[in-house]
Amino acid sequence: MSNYQPLSIEFKNGSGIWLNDTQGQRYLDALSGIAVCGLGHAHPAVQAAIADQAANLIHTSNLYRIPLQEKLAGKLVQHSGMEKVFFGNSGAEANEAAIKLARLYANNKGISNPVIVVMEKSFHGRTMATLSATGNAKVQKGFDPLVEGFKHIPYNNIDALNELANEDLNIVAVMVEPILGEGGVVIPDPGYLKAIRAFCDKHKCLMMVDEVQTGMCRTGKWFAFQHEDVMPDVMTLAKALGNGVPIGACLAKGEAAELFQPGSHGSTFGGNPLASRAALAVIEVLEAQYLEQRAAELGNRLLDSFKEALSAVKGVSDIRGKGLMLGIELEKECPDLVGLALNEHLLINVTSGNVIRLLPPLIMNDAEADQLVSTLSKILKKYLK
């Protein structure tokens, strides 16, 4: 179907942060398949784990115990402080599970018209419930009637949240990205998540963080909520969890972790042996190489270098980032930059119209980071001349 508009380039293989096209040309991948290949391409440990698992057992269904899935859940719980995990196959599915938890939470309290507070400019997925939660009219256009029960408020605005308490709403959850990804790499003020936690405690509703893009060490912590001293009730993951093997997860703690009972939710593929094994391999590499620390270090290096190279360039309005999630905001819309960068053998993304989004692999070395800065800075200076 015509829902994508792919660039005509075709990649044949990759290694680390590099991709090779069918013409034998090499590209620096500063996007990682949209925050998926955190360990880069063809990572030896992930590749070996997938091959070995495929040779033994790919799928059995959740009708039977899956020890690899249990082990993976244990690892995720250990790193996040959450308690239980449901596995699906994508970010949208992980968020669907979270939304269903909020609905069950309401149902158990006898609330028939529950409201989940969500943010303007957020992105949570393309299924009917997750696109209804998403704060972007373009994503919703044409799909009415939307799923009801979502209330959108501005991101990074605690007053707007607190004001909702004066309205006659049965708020059962607040769902938030710790950093807006698709919405333009927007980093909220320090204390934002803590204030949401306080609101949720006061009004007895669930704090649900969407870490689909920010999770798995990308921002310099295992999960971005850990930059603040808070614990959510629900957290969702996908993208980098399997380094390209589709897997999503919805984690919960406390009351939220007990809501799903046999029959309340499910997935044929979710957490199957192949996907679980791949994700376990990813986690083992992240652990062994302390890649959350490396992401923080590399992020600072990139941020400092980009600021040095571009701060004084007319037309650049902001340079920001946390770990390896970086945004360079321009004064004007710049979708054509993706093609211009491709001509220079660099893969980048432009989101929210005027924000260059960089999500490079966490295994990048210093020289590669410096090459990213010099190549992109050169392109940008020429572009903005």
Ligand X SMILES: Cc1ncc(COP(=O)(O)O)c(C=O)c1O
- By CB under 6 A, name the one of 32, 41, 117, 210 that touches ligand X: 210
The angle formed by the CA atoms of residues 197, 201 and 203, to the nearest 5 degrees, is 115
At 33, is the secondary structure helix, strand, or coil? Answer: helix
Structural contact between residues 51 and 44, judged by C-beta atoms closer than 8 angstroms: no
Residue 42's region, left for phi above 0, alpha for psi from -120 to 50, else beta, is: left
Among the candidate windows 51-59, 102-110, 117-125, 368-376, which touches ligand X by CB under 6 A? 117-125
Per CB under 6 A, does 91 bind ligand X?
yes
The residue whose Cβ lies closest to ligand X is 91
d(CA 20, CA 332) in angstroms, rounded, equals 31
Find the farthest-apart pair of alpha carbons in the chain and give their distance in angstroms, rounded: 62
User: Among 29, 86, 121, 123, which one carries the catalytic annotation?
Assistant: 123
Per CB under 6 A, does 125 bind ligand X?
yes
DSSP 383: H
Sequence-distant (≥ 6) Cβ neighbours of residue 168 within 8 angstroms: none
Per CB under 6 A, does 329 bind ligand X?
no
Residue 347's region, left for phi above 0, alpha for psi from -120 to 50, else beta, is: beta
- By CB under 6 A, name the one of 29, 96, 182, 292 that touches ligand X: 182
**Terminal C-alpha separation, the chain:** 39
- By CB under 6 A, name the one of 79, 124, 227, 357 that touches ligand X: 124
Per CB under 6 A, does 177 bind ligand X?
yes
Q: Is 239 noted as a catalytic residue in this protein?
A: yes
Among the candidate windows 89-97, 158-166, 279-287, 342-350, which touches ligand X by CB under 6 A? 89-97
d(CA 250, CA 381) in angstroms, rounded, equals 42
Q: Is 123 noted as a catalytic residue in this protein?
A: yes
DSSP 66: -
Nearer to ligand X, 62 or 127 (CB): 127
Structural contact between residues 175 and 183, judged by C-beta atoms closer than 8 angstroms: no
d(CA 325, CA 156) in angstroms, rounded, equals 18
- Kindly state the smallest distance separating residue 211's Cβ from ligand X, in Å: 8
- Kindly state the smallest distance separating residue 34's Cβ from ligand X, in Å: 6
Structural contact between residues 61 and 268, judged by C-beta atoms closer than 8 angstroms: yes
Q: How many residues bind ligand X (CB under 6 A)?
A: 15
Nearer to ligand X, 316 or 362 (CB): 362
Instruction: Read off the tokens for 327.
Output: 């945004």
| Interface map 7-46 toward ligand X (x if CB under 6 A) | ---------------------------x------------
Nearer to ligand X, 124 or 197 (CB): 124
User: Among 87, 199, 210, 225, which one carries the catalytic annotation?
Assistant: 210
Q: Which of 309, 320, 311, 322 is nearest to 371 (CA)?
A: 309
- Kindly state the smallest distance separating residue 92's Cβ from ligand X, in Å: 3
Per CB under 6 A, does 92 bind ligand X?
yes
- Kindly state the smallest distance separating residue 185's Cβ from ligand X, in Å: 11
- Which amino acid, one-letter code, is at 61? S
- Kindly state the smallest distance separating residue 280's Cβ from ligand X, in Å: 19
Per CB under 6 A, does 276 bind ligand X?
no
- By CB under 6 A, name the one of 32, 69, 95, 276 that touches ligand X: 95
Per CB under 6 A, does 351 bind ligand X?
no
- Kindly state the smallest distance separating residue 300's Cβ from ligand X, in Å: 23
What does DSSP say about strands 170-176 and 114-119: parallel, antiparallel, or unpaired?
Answer: parallel
| Interface map 225-264 toward ligand X (x if CB under 6 A) | -------------x--------------------------
Per CB under 6 A, does 123 bind ligand X?
yes
Structural contact between residues 80 and 250, judged by C-beta atoms closer than 8 angstroms: no
At 235, is the secondary structure helix, strand, or coil? Answer: strand
The strand order across the sheet containing 84-88 reads 84-88, 248-252, 234-237, 206-210, 170-176, 114-119, 150-153
User: Among 121, 221, 239, 322, which one carries the catalytic annotation?
Assistant: 239
Structural contact between residues 173 and 116, judged by C-beta atoms closer than 8 angstroms: yes
- Kindly state the smallest distance separating residue 283's Cβ from ligand X, in Å: 18
Q: Point out the residues that are catalytic.
A: 123, 210, 239
Residues in contact with ligand X by CB under 6 A are: 34, 90-92, 95, 123-125, 177, 181-182, 210, 212-213, 238
